[in-house]
Structures are given as structure tokens and as C-alpha cells.
Amino acid sequence: MQVYNTLTREKAPLTPIEPGKIRMYVCGMTVYDYCHLGHARVLVAFDVITRYLRAKGFDVTYVRNITDVDDKIIARAQENGESIDALTGRMIDAMHEDERKLFVLAPNREPRATEHIDDIITMVSTLIDKGYAYAADNGDVYYRVRKFDGYGKLNNRAIDDMLSGARVEVEFAKADPLDFVLWKAAKPGESAWESPWGPGRPGWHIECSAMSTCCLGNNFDIHGGGPDLTFPHHENEIAQSEAATGETYANVWMHAGALRVNDEKMSKSLGNFFTIRDVLEVHDPEVVRYLLVSSHYRSAINYAPDALDEARRSLERLYNALDGVDLSSGAVESRYSERFHRAMDDDFNTPEAMAVLFELARDINRAKKGGGEAGALASELRRLASLLGLLNYSPSEFLKGAQSALEITEDEIEAQIQARNDARKAKDFAEADRIRDALAEKGIILKDSREGTGWVVEQG
């Protein structure tokens, strides 16, 4: 099984530290607001990775942290006139609701920064003792970037080249403008914890170093996150963790691709910023998940109305193949499974894996017409799709799922179908056609069979 490593910039066999087990840490949310579509991209990408590794037989320990103390959290709580605990509790509940709707499985552990203050203080103290950090006169503690020889290896750039032109906080208390904060002295009215350097709170980067090593050990298999975290966050994590422990931090670094909206970077200033719940009020969650899975996890993905329409049509093809098929037959079609796994073994190549699903759907439709083993094929389709977190509904549930957005109720649809059947019995075919066409204009497509007339919602 080959996995791309951001650190080495190449694919290599995935070799667990402990045979049969994978320990993975993924940077999670800073819970000051609702999760946005970029978060959904990362949530779904690592959910697919986790599902597939487990399907391969690995015992996966998946840790995804929560940052629940941070400058943005403090500012938002003050702005809202609520406590930090009230804000973060509300946002964590909303995040869990969003991920459940997107069929994202919960991680094994979800540590919160505020639960690991003692571990953070211990790591900062170790860095000071080893000469990699220093307490400044203003009560802050800073990391000496130039002290760590490997700084820049994740991004493959020298320190000065990497930080040239970058936004560097100018603090007179710093020994070097490039140094970053590990511990922040508390300002009046802020949440604070006692420390050897006075009351304060942790910096963002040190939180993840402490939580990951506490949950998974000094050296673990995979560290993941969004595309914007390679610098400075992950670069700083490596510097802190390896300086503190003297060990390699993570063996493999994985980063999901960026999400763009109508081919532009998602930004509140551009007016194209969407939270997950904004999107799910309008679109079926599985359609959104399909769009996110349909691109390779490292590729940029474009969120646009046309892309969502195509995603729904593609899902409809899969559900239509399953529609009317007995799914109780066991999955015996190993030739599809072999190709699916070959694609996923190549750095989780979901586009190639999904091509296998559509070939299965085509063969199911052929088997329906020719009396073949449609049931076994359909069971295999559902089993393989589940490894991507897809085909979670029954066919009838999904194919009628967009009905709530229509200007017609299910009872009204059934009444029109009955009226059409009555017209056909009376040989009034013009009236029958008129009813069919009227329903089609409202997005209702009738499907006649020997068992009767069914219907689906046309999308796009």
C-alpha cells in the first residue's frame, strides 16, 4: 500500500511502527464558529482514509483534537457576551452534528487543549531546559527557531526563504523576530492557568504537540491536516516535538487538498464563505459527501452548483442500479473488489475506486435485464461504496429524498399517479401523457414497470 508523504514529497509503502496498527493524529477545529466547507473537506478525507485502513485490517487509533482556547475564541466569546465554555460547548455540539450528517465516523479520541494544560507546561519546561525555548520579560515563552537544525524540512525551504515576506509578529520581547510563542501571559479578563512563568495560556502550536504525543506517543505513524497547516503550524509542531523528545515526531505527513468555491478561494471578503450547515440546508448531505470524495484527497476541489448537480446525478445512477434488487445475496464478485482495492492502495485514489462502482452499476443494470446475478453485484456495490461512506440510504429513500424541496407533496404525487392510471385504463392516453409531462415539469419522473408506477426526483 503506497501513501504520499508531504515530508519526503513522494509515495512509499505504508509501514506501521507496530505491525497491524496505525496511530494517526489529525489537526481538528478551533471551535469559535460553525465548521465551514474547508473543514468538511478535511473531515471527509480522513474519514475515508480511516475507513479504508480499517477495511485493510489495520487497528487504527484515530485522534483528532479540539482547540478550545485561542485568541479567536476569546474574542468571539467577548463579542457574544458569553463565557468561553458556553461558546466552545455550543460549537463542539454543532461540529458533531455536522459530521454525523456527512456520515463522518467519530475519532477514537478527541482531546481538548484545556484538558492537557499540565502536559503543555511540561513540554514547554523541557524545551526551556534543553535551550530550545526561553521565558521573556513580558511573561511569554518563545521557541528558538534557529536552534532547531531541521526547521523547514516539511516545506523543503530554508528558514529565511520560508519566512521572507511572511507575516511575522513583531514582539520586542523576542530574541529573534522568527521565534514563535509557546506560552502567552494572560491579559486582564482572559482565561488563564498557573505556570512557572506566571498565569497564562498555551500557544496554538504547542497544544497539538502535547496532545498528539500524550495520546499516541513520541513517534507515531501518520499526522494529517488541511492544506494551510504545513506552515507554520506543522513545521512548528515538528520543531517543538522533536526538540522535546529527541525522536522522530510523525513518520508520514498527509494533507488534504484545498476547497475552492466557483474556482475562487473561499473567503468572507469575497462573499463565498459557506458553513457546513448552510450547505446542508439546501443540499442532501450524501451529495455533498460524494462531491468531496470524488476528487483525490490531495487534489483541490471546486464547490459549485454545477458540480453538486453532477454529484447528485452520479449518485442517482448508483441508487437506480440498486433500486428493485434483492440485496440479501452475499458479495462474491472479487474482480471488482480487487480493482477497487488496487486503486485505494495507491494513495487512496478515490476517483479510480469510484470508476469501479460505476462499472458495477452498469453490470447490475445489465443483469436486471438478462436475469443475471444482480443481487450479488448490488451487494458488492453497496459494500465497496461503504468504504467511501457512500450509499447510506435505501434506494427509494434517496431517489425521493429531494422531494421536500419541491412544490408538491408525496400524497399529491401519488394522487396524480392514480389519476394517470385511471386515464390509461380508460384509454385516455392524451390525459395520461399530460399528467406525466406535468409531473416532469415539477421534477418528478415516473417509472413504469410490471409492479406498477414508481417515481424519482430529477436533479440538475
Global pTM reads 0.86
Burial class for 137, CB neighbours closer than 10 Å (0-12, 13-18, 19+): exposed
pLDDT > 90? residue 444: no
* 35 labeled binding residue: no
The runs of H, that is alpha helices, within 61-182 are 71-80, 84-101, 117-129, 159-163
pLDDT digits (tens, 9 = 90+) for 382-411: 999 999 999 999 998 898 765 445 567 777
| CB-CB contact of 24 with 220 (8 Å) | yes
What angle do the packed helices 285-294 and 37-55 form, to 10 degrees? Answer: 70
* 414 labeled binding residue: no
> Cα–Cα distance between 1 and 6 in angstroms, integer?
16
Residues 6 or more apart whose Cβ sits within 8 Å of residue 168: 177, 178
CB atoms within 10 A of CB 194: 11
* 208 labeled binding residue: yes
pLDDT digits (tens, 9 = 90+) for 169-219: 556 788 888 899 999 999 888 889 999 999 999 999 999 999 999 999 999
Sheet arrangement for strand 220-225: 59-67, 21-30, 220-225, 250-255
pLDDT > 80? residue 298: yes
> Cα–Cα distance between 327 and 321 in angstroms, integer?
11
Residues 6 or more apart whose Cβ sits within 8 Å of residue 401: 284, 393, 457
Q: Which residues pair with 444 in a beta bridge?
A: 457
Residue 190, helix vs strand vs coil = coil
Q: What is the band of 103 on the pLDDT scale with cuts at 50, 70, 90?
A: very high
pLDDT > 90? residue 151: yes
Structural domains of the chain, with CATH = 17-256 (3.40.50.620), 260-399 (1.20.120.640), 401-457 (no CATH)
Q: What is the band of 306 on the pLDDT scale with cuts at 50, 70, 90?
A: confident
pLDDT of res. 391: 97
Residues 6 or more apart whose Cβ sits within 8 Å of residue 317: 358, 361
pLDDT of res. 332: 59
Dihedral over Cα of 304, 310, 313, 317: its sign: negative
Residue 142, helix vs strand vs coil = strand
Residue 340, helix vs strand vs coil = helix
Residue 298, helix vs strand vs coil = coil
* 27 labeled binding residue: yes
What is the helix, strand, coil percentage profile of the chain, to 5? Answer: 50, 20, 35
- Which helix (H) or strand (E) is 224 found in, with range? strand 220-225
pLDDT of res. 460: 43
Omega before 19 cis (within 30°)?
no
What DSSP assignment string belongs to 124-138? HHHHHHTTSEEE-TT
pLDDT of res. 404: 47
pLDDT > 80? residue 50: yes
Q: What is the band of 449 on the pLDDT scale with cuts at 50, 70, 90?
A: low
Q: What is the band of 333 on the pLDDT scale with cuts at 50, 70, 90?
A: low
> Cα–Cα distance between 348 and 4 in angstroms, integer?
9
* 233 labeled binding residue: yes
> Cα–Cα distance between 315 and 398 in angstroms, integer?
9
